[in-house]
Amino acid sequence: MTRNEDNPIITLISSMVAPFIMLFGLYVIFHGHYSPGGGFQGGTLLAASIILLRLALGSELGKKQFPSRWGTPLGSLGVLIYFGTGLAALLLGGTFLNYAFLPFSPQASHNRYWGILSIEIGVGLAVMAVLVAIYDDLLEGEPRA
Amino acid sequence: MIPTNAPALTPLLFLFTGLLIPLAAFKFRRLAYWLALSATAAASAVALSNIFRVLDGRAIHYRFGGWPPPIGIEYVLDPLSAFVTSVINVIALIVLIHARRTVEADLPQGKRVPYYALVMLMMSGFNGIVMTGDFFNLYVFLEICSLALYGLVAVGDRKSPVAAFRYLVLGMIGGCFYLLGVGFLYMSSGSLNMADLKAILLVLGPRPGVIVALAFMLLGFGLKMALFPLHGWLPDAYTYAPTATSSLMAPIGTKIGAYGLIRVLFFVFGLQFITQTVPVATVIAWLSAAAILYGSIQAMAQDEMKRMLAFSSVAQVGYIGLGIGLANAWGLVGALLHVLNHGLMKACLFLVAGNFRMKLGHSRISRLDQEARRRMPWTTAAFTLAALSMIGLPPTVGFFSKWYLAWGSIRNGSWVFLAVILVSSLLNAVYFFRVVERLYLKPADRPPEAEKSGAAARVRSEVGASMLVPTLVLAAALLVVGLLNAFIVKGVLLKILPPGLAGMNP
Amino acid sequence: MPEFLVGHFFYWFVFLLMAIGLFGIVLKRNLIKKVIGMSIFQVAIILFFVASASKWGGTVPVLDPKLGVSDASRYINPLPHCLMLTAIVVSVATSGVAFALIISIWRRYKTLDEPELLARMKNDPD
């Protein structure tokens, strides 16, 4: 899995398919309100697209797009976005995660809509980063052929 | 803002710091420890002030997201959760002061920053379990603290990954059983909120679904609490984990399971249900009695000090379980007081073991002799005081919790439990005095020239101040809290008792 | 009695899966097979919750303009599904930690067979 096999079919197909998987992952995150989806599911699809490239192209080429050292900090950043939304709600007068107090719009229902979207984005980022980090850690000690 | 948000503040503070540490320490590695320490100090301050907010006995409810329960999740600050969070956070603060040097000694450079992040997540999980008033939220925080603990245990010596793997599999089964119990309860009642469920269960009565839910939740909490016979993960995990992890896990981890048991048995299901409808309390009491005897006997057979302390923890958790199982006011007060006492005593003992490992290189009992005491007199003194407290000599704290437990057994007429408490104090004396005897009386093999020069050849190599002061503070606390325990019992513990339990008239 | 068995057939299947998972954890010798057993056990519990949420003739709990909001029995219960999202994530994270621990055990002891591992640990100086 760490070597680049130089198989033209795998290289071509995976490079073509990965952007579409990412796009679908973003679609699933943003449409969690209206259809099955949400942060966890979309984050897993985003991680799948990144891991596909690592599997197909080998470790060196696959890590050019998403280096492994970004894993843990991006995961923390994603959960901090979630936490920040709740904290903003707490500081602006309500209880933690009470989206009605967010400053996006004067109507409470719109604020709840934007609040949920914001935490789903945080969760999607965190799940993507953590799944890629798990994959990288499990392959860390593999001997180079 | 702090008083209105008080119930949610401690878990959120730890969670925030746990997320901040990997980002902040990207550039400044040393910042990780100080962030962790300041978060624990702030959380201890909040937890201690929370006690004073609920001294009149009324609970403060906090709704997440503004949704009213049972639709939303709520956090409840009542005397029980205020007491347990104070115990957890203050002991964690003292242990973290000690942990700086041992983490530097035990862990390689690249693992120290993630270690402190995991410690913060674990503390967030513990505080979340205690503060929450929602069953599924308890499962979420239970898994957070368990996952952090698996990682914390695994970074020790050579055998620690195996110990962590065993802990992982058993802990996962326990969590899944708890989740199954929550599922059955939700299917029977339609609500996940603890206060709501208390009212619903009075109407439902002892249906098969409710009884099965109680049994599964008992298994889940029993495994977290390491109640005999669900203690299999504990000896290896405590022994092979690094010093800082054992010192954090031993005084605090099992108390969370005990808190869960108290909350579910006394505050949700109610005294009537657990004693008369389904005799759960009797089962817990007998298992705890077995735990006390089993742990004490196994502790006598151990050579490694941390393993002996681990089996001793199994026995002490048996005391807390016995107090819960007696299901009267004296027993519950004894169990709650033992939560505080055992936290202090075990933290002191594991810090002493850490000091021995730091300076002598080992903590094997068979290799201790007078040389260890001459080199580290203060540490040995702290060990002796903690040992006296574990045995139960007044005026140290250990005596008072056993006193209340003994009165609870007498009130119930359970003479077997009284005998178990007394016999186990004797067994505790055996395995602790074994160590004290070696430290004070066993002559060291020194070459004859060293004997002649006497005092000049004595090498004092006590541990540094940042490790010695927490050990001595905990040892002193054993005496101070023992002398002041009447205030703690009257001021806090009597307010925790649920309305069903009778008063404490002798 | 037949209604009890046939009407709850999915719950019987779920308990069979739980039994298989527990059998795997306890009786298999290889550590990876224990992790697989643990994963089967967790999936069985997730299926248990999801099964408890379904209703005869209910549809996906997304607002359908034709059905409206007045009658709740036309939509299945979404709460257990949300709870199980969290449980699935916990299961993934635990599997990740378990595999990382297995790799660490392999590096130190070069075996994943539990009796062999315990024998090597006994000979290993502490």
User: CB distance A141–C103 less than 8 Å?
Assistant: yes
Structure tokens at C16: 């069979």
CA distance A4 to chain B (A): 29
Is B317 within 8 Å of B401 (Cβ atoms)? no
CB contacts, 8 Å: C62 with chain A: 34-36
Q: Is B382 within a domain?
A: yes
Cβ distance C103 to A134 less than 8 Å, yes or no, reads no
pLDDT at B446 (0 to 100): 61
Q: Does C99 touch chain A (CB under 8 A)?
A: yes
Enter the tokens of residue A91: 């500081």
Amino acid A6: pLDDT = 78
Closest by CA position to B343, among listed B331, B353, B351: B351
Residue C1: its pLDDT value, please?
76
Q: CA-nearest residue of chain A to C96?
A: A134
Asked if the Cβ–Cβ distance from A80 to B23 is below 8 Å, we say yes
Q: With contact defined as beta carbons under 8 Å apart, do C91 and C108 qualify?
A: no
Chains near C, with 3+ CB pairs < 8 A?
Answer: A, B
pTM of the model: 0.93
B145 in Cβ contact with B153 (< 8 Å): no
Nearest CB partner across the interface for C62, out of A35, A131, A137: A35
List all chains that touch chain A, counting a touch as 3 or more CB pairs closer than 8 Å: B, C
* Topology at the third CATH level for domain C2-123: Helix Hairpins (1.10.287)
- Listed by start position, the domains of chain C span 2-123
Amino acid A100: pLDDT? 82
For residues A32-43, average pLDDT? 85
Q: How far is C120 from chain B (nearest CA, A)?
A: 10
**What string of DSSP letters covers A48-108?**
HHHHHHHHHH-HHHHTTTS-GGGHHHHHHHHHHHHHHHHHHHHHTTS-TT-GGGSSS-SSH
The nearest alpha carbon in chain B to A99 belongs to B65
Counting residues of chain C whose pLDDT is more than 70, the rounded percentage is: 99
Tell me the two tokens of residue B308.
Answer: 């002996």
Interatomic CA distance for residues B252 and B246, integer angstroms: 10
Residue ranges for chain B with pLDDT beneath 50: 450-453, 455-457, 506
Contact indicator for B219, B230 with CB cutoff of 8 Å: yes
Among B176, B185, B239, the strongest candidate for a mutation testing the C interface, having the largest count of C CBs within 10 A, is B176
- Chain B residue at shortest CA distance from C24: B169
Q: What pLDDT digit, counting tens, does each position of A50-105 carry?
A: 999 988 888 888 888 888 888 888 999 999 999 999 888 888 877 888 888 888 88
Q: What pLDDT was estimated at residue B457?
A: 46
Contacts of C88 in chain A (CB under 8 A): 40
Q: What is the chain A residue with the closest CA to B6?
A: A95
The answer to whether the CB atoms of B158 and C108 lie below 8 A apart is yes
B14 close to A (CB below 8 A): no
Q: Do B319 and B302 touch, CB atoms closer than 8 A? A: no
Nearest by Cα to B131 from B42, B44, B61, B213: B61
For residue B186, list chain C residues with Cβ-Cβ distance below 8 A: 52, 79-80
Domain-embedded: residue B347: yes
Query: Does pLDDT of A143 surpass 80?
Result: no
Closest CA to B401 of B292, B294, B301: B292
User: What is the per-residue pLDDT for A140?
Assistant: 79
Q: Please tell me the distance from the alpha carbon of residue A13 to that of residue B82, in angstroms, as a whole number.
A: 58
**CA–CA dist B374, B479 (Å, integer):** 24
Q: What single string gives the DSSP state of each residue in B276-331?
A: IIS-HHHHHHHHHHHHHHHHHHHHHT--BHHHHHHHHHHHHHHHHHHHHHH-SHHH
What is the pLDDT at residue B506?
45
The confidence score (pLDDT) of residue B503 equals 63
Q: Which domain holds residue B395?
A: 297-445+459-506
Which residue of A lies nearest to B121 if distances are taken between CA atoms?
Answer: A76
CA C95/CA B168 separation, integer angstroms? 10
Chain B window 173-202: which residues touch A at a Cβ cutoff of 8 Å? none
Nearest to B70 by CA among B186, B206, B165: B186
Q: Which of C63, C81, C83, C92 to mutate to test the interface with A (most CBs of A within 10 A)?
A: C92
Minimal C-alpha gap between A9 and chain B (Å):
40
When divided into structural domains, chain B yields a total of: 1
Chain A stretch 47-106, residues whose beta carbon is closer than 8 A to a beta carbon of chain B = 72-73, 76-77, 79-80, 83, 86-87, 90-91, 94-100
- Chain centroid offset of residue B6 CA: 23
Asked if residue B432 is part of any domain, the answer here is yes
* Distance set, CA B132 to CA A119, B10, B59 (Å): 21, 11, 12
Query: CA-CA distance, A120 to A81, in Å (whole number)?
Result: 9
Per-residue pLDDT reduced to its tens digit, C40-65: 999 999 999 999 988 888 888 877 78
Q: Which two tokens stand for residue B69?
A: 């329960």
CB pairs under 8 A between A and B: 44
Query: How crowded is the C-beta side of A123, counted as CA atoms within 13 Å?
Result: 20
Task: Give residue B502's pLDDT.
Answer: 61
